[in-house]
Structure 1
Amino acid sequence: MSETLRDLFLLDPELVFLNHGSFGALPREVWEAQQRWQLEMERNPVAFLGRRSAILLREAREALGTALGAAAGHLVFMPNATTGVNVVAQSLRLQAGDEVLASDLEYGACDAAWEHLCARQGAHYRRVEIPLPYQREHVLARLLAAITPRTRLIFLSHISSTTALILPVAELCQAARERGILTLIDGAHAPGQIALDIEAVGADFYAGNCHKWLCAPKGAGFLYARPEHHGLLEPTVLSWGYAASRAGHSGFDAYLGRSLFERRMQWQGTRDISAWLAVPAALAFQARHDWPAQRARCHALAAQALHTLTQRFGLSPIAQDQDWAQMVAIPVPAQDPESLRRSLFEDSGIEIPVTYHGGQVFVRLSVQAYNSADDVARLLAAPALQIGA
C-alpha cells in the first residue's frame, strides 16, 4: 500500500524522502485541486476574489473545523502557524514587566518573534528548561512552578519541532485557565499527525499548519481563537475589515465577511487563496486512505528505526514511544549536524534533517504514509550512520 501511495505524491521517485515534517509533501490530486482553483480565479478575478471568496473560504473552514474539532467561525486561514503566532503576539499589548512563559523546546522562529516583541514593550520572554529524557508530567509541573503574578500568557508547542515530542497542552490549558492566564498553542506539527480536537485542547489561541501533516498546499495554515478573544486580535496588515463602509466600492462582499474575526483577518490585500481552498481536497484524500491506520503504520516504522539506531550507538531514546507520533528525534553520536545531513543527502540520497538540542544531536525522522519499510532500511544502512555498527 505504501508503494501505491508514493505514486500518488509528487515526490522525486529517486529520493528517499524522510523529512515530511519540514514542509510536507503534496498528493497529486491536491495539487490539481489547487490548480483548478487558480484557473477559476483567473477566469474572473473580480468575481472570484471580490464576491465569491468569502463563501468559498467559509466552506473550506467548515471542512477544516469538522476535521479538527473547531467551529468554522472560530477559525481563520493563515499562511502558516508562525503567522498565527505573530498575530497573537502583536495583539497582546504587553506592559513593562509582563511575562510570556514558554518551554525551551519551542520553534526558533517563534522564539525570535516573542523575544523581539517582548523587548519592544519592556516585557520578558521566559523559557523554562524541560530536561531530557522527557517525562510528560515534568513539563506541566515546571511551567506551572514558573508562573509569577506578571505572567500574561503561556506559549507551548503541541509537538516540538527539534525534538518531536508531544507536549501536555490540554492539561496546561486547563491549569492556566484556572489561574486566569491566556494560552497559545503552536500546533505546527499536530494537525494530521495526531488525532486533534482543538476545542477539547481548551487553548485560548491555537495556530496550526495544513501544509505539513494534513498534506495541503504550501501556504495553508490557520489560527483558532475562542470567541471571547476575537475582538482582541488584530492582523499584521490592516485592510478593508477596518473600513467603516465600503468607501466607494460595491460588490466586494469578501472584503468584509460576516463577523469581526473574518473582517479583520481574512482579507489583507490581494493574495492567492487557492492553497486554503484546496484544504478540503487534502482532507478527502486522507479520509479515503484510512489515515489513522497509516499513522499507526508510520509510527511503527519510526519506532523500528529509533530502537535500531539507539542500540547501535549505545544511546538511549529521549522519550517513550507514546511521547511522539510519526516524527521522532533519534539521538546520534556528537558530531557536526550539517555535515551529517549533507552526507546523508549527497552520499545516500536521503532527505532528512539533523537537529540539536541541549548539546545532543538528533536525526529527526519523519515517516509519512508514502514511506515504505525500504525507505527506513535505506536510512539504517546509510554509511554515515554506521558508527558503532
Structure 2
Amino acid sequence: EIADVVARANANRPAAEHALLCVDGVHGFGVDDVTVGDLGCDFFVAGCHKWMLGPRGTGIIWGKTERWPLLRPTIPHFGSEGFSAWLKDQPPPPTNANMMTPGGFHSFEHRWALREAFVFHQEVGKTKIMARIHDLNRKCKDGLAMMRHVTLHTPRAAELSAGITTFEVAGVEPAAAVKRLYEHRVIATQTPYRESYVRVAPGLYNSEEDVEEVLRAVRALA
C-alpha cells in the first residue's frame, strides 16, 4: 500500500523529483515469505545476523538499477570504477551497486559464512520458516494477552507483526523486567525508544517448550 501511495505521488513529477521508498527490513528479512519485488520499494536494507542467522556485521542493500546513480558513496571504494577515475584525476562515473561497497580490508570470513545462512534458509524453505516463527510468536502473544499484569503492545494479527513480541509488566520497569527474566534463563531485551517496553523474539531455533518457559517467567513477575 505504501508503494502504491509513493507511485501515485511520483506519477506527475519529473524523475529528478521522485520520492524514493527505502525499506528497513531487518526484522522481516529471514521471517516472512516475500520477495523484494512484492514490496515495490526502490531500496531494501537489512542486517543478516538476526533472522537470517548469519555472522554479526553482515547485511545487504538491494536497489533498483535505475536508482543507484541517485546515490553517492560516503566511503570511497576500491573497485575499478572509482579507482580508475581517481588515477586519471577524473570525476567518478554514475554510482552503481558495486561502488557502494566501501574500500579497505573486508571481513571475507564473514561473507563466506553468510552464504551458508542463505543456503540453510533455502533448504528449510521460506514458507516453513515463516509458519514456524509466526506460530511461536502467536503462542507467545496469546499467552501474554491472558495475563492481567501484562499489557501486550504487538498486534496479535499475523499480517501486522513478525518475529518480535513487545509488552510491559505493570509496576515493573522494562530494565528490571529484563533482568528478572534473565534470572529465569530467559533472554529478553528492552526497546531502545522513548517509550520503552520488554521484547522477546521466538525464532526458528526455539521450541514450544521455550515459549512456555518464557510465559512462566513472565507470570512470576506479577
TM interval, shorter chain, is 0.7 to 0.9
Q: Does 1:224 align with 2:58?
A: no
Corresponding residue for residue 299 of structure 1: 134
Q: What is the CA distance between 1:348 and its match in structure 2?
A: 0.9
The percent of aligned pairs where both chains have the same amino acid is: 22
Secondary structure class of the residue paired with 2:198: strand
Aligned to 2:123: 288
User: Structure 2 counterpart of 1:216, which letter?
Assistant: G
Q: How far apart are the structure 1 equivalents of 2:219 and 2:191?
A: 15
Residue 180 (structure 2) aligned to one of 337, 343, 347: 343
| 2:84 equivalent among 219, 244, 247 | 244
Provide TM-score, normalisation by structure 1.
0.48
Name the SS for the 2:147 alignment partner: helix
- The correspondence of residues 108-257 of structure 1 with structure 2, limited to 5 A, is 171-180=1-10, 181-240=19-78, 241-245=81-85, 247=87
User: For 1:327, which of 158, 164, 182 is the aligned residue?
Assistant: 164
Task: Give the match's secondary structure for 2:212.
Answer: helix
Cα–Cα, structure 1 residues 353 and 176, in superposed 2: closer, same or farther, change >3 Å? same
- Map Cα deviations across residues 353-379 of structure 1 (whole Å, 9 max, x no partner): 1337675x5331211121112211211
1:270 is paired with a residue of what secondary structure? coil
Q: Work out whether residues 151 and 168 of structure 2, in 8 Å CA contact, stay in contact via their aligned partners in 1.
A: yes
The separation in 1 between residues aligned to 2:99 and 2:192, in whole angstroms, is 39
Distance 1:295 1:205, change over 3 A: closer
Q: Summarize deviations over 1:43-76 as a string: whole Å, max 9, x none.
A: xxxxxxxxxxxxxxxxxxxxxxxxxxxxxxxxxx
More helix by share: 1
Alpha-carbon displacement from aligned partner over 1:283-340 (angstroms, at most 9, x marks no partner): 2112323453243233222222222222112656442322112222234325311111
What is the alpha-carbon distance in structure 2 between the residues aligned to residue 237 and residue 374 of structure 1? 46
Quick check: 2:47–2:60 contact (8 Å CA) kept in 1? yes
1:375 is paired with a residue whose SS is helix
Q: 1:263 to 1:305 in 2, by over 3 A?
A: closer
What is the letter of the counterpart of residue 177 of structure 1? A
Structure 1 pair 177–276 and aligned structure 2 pair: CA distance change class (3 A): farther
Alignment of 1:41-60 (within 5 A): none
Instruction: Judge conservation of contact 2:68–2:97 (CA < 8 Å) in 1.
Output: no
SS at match of 2:38: helix
Q: Return the alpha-carbon distance in structure 2 between the equivalents of residues 199 and 288 of structure 1.
A: 21
The number of residues matched between the two structures is: 206
Q: CA deviation at 1:176?
A: 1.1
> Match of 1:386?
220
Q: With CA pairs under 8 Å and 6+ residues apart, which has the higher RCO, 1 or 2?
A: 1
C-alpha distance 201-335 of structure 1, shift in aligned 2 (>3 A):
same
Query: Counterpart of 1:376 in structure 2: which amino acid?
Result: V
Deviations, residues 147-183 of structure 1 (Å, cap 9, x unaligned): xxxxxxxxxxxxxxxxxxxxxxxx1122112212222
Q: Could you say what the CA RMSD is over the residues aligned between the two structures, in angstroms? A: 2.7
Structure 1 residues 283 and 222, CA gap change in structure 2 (3 angstroms): same
- The residue type paired with residue 328 of structure 1 is T
For structure 2, which runs of at least 5 residues remain unmatched after alignment?
11-18
Q: Where in structure 1 are there 5+ consecutive unaligned residues?
A: 1-170, 249-255
Deviation string 1:260-294 (CA, Å, 9 cap, x unpaired) is 41442224212213323333311211232345324
Q: Equivalents in 2 of 1:327, 1:376: separation in Å?
A: 13
The TM-score with structure 2 as length reference comes to 0.79
Is contact 1:310–1:316 with CA below 8 Å preserved after alignment? yes
More displaced stretch, 282-291 vs 200-209: 282-291
Q: Is the 8 A contact 1:313 1:387 kept in 2?
A: no
Q: Cα 1:343–1:372, aligned 2, differ >3 Å: closer, same or farther?
A: same
Secondary structure of 1:231's partner? Answer: helix
Q: 2: CA distance between counterparts of 1:185 and 1:385?
A: 36
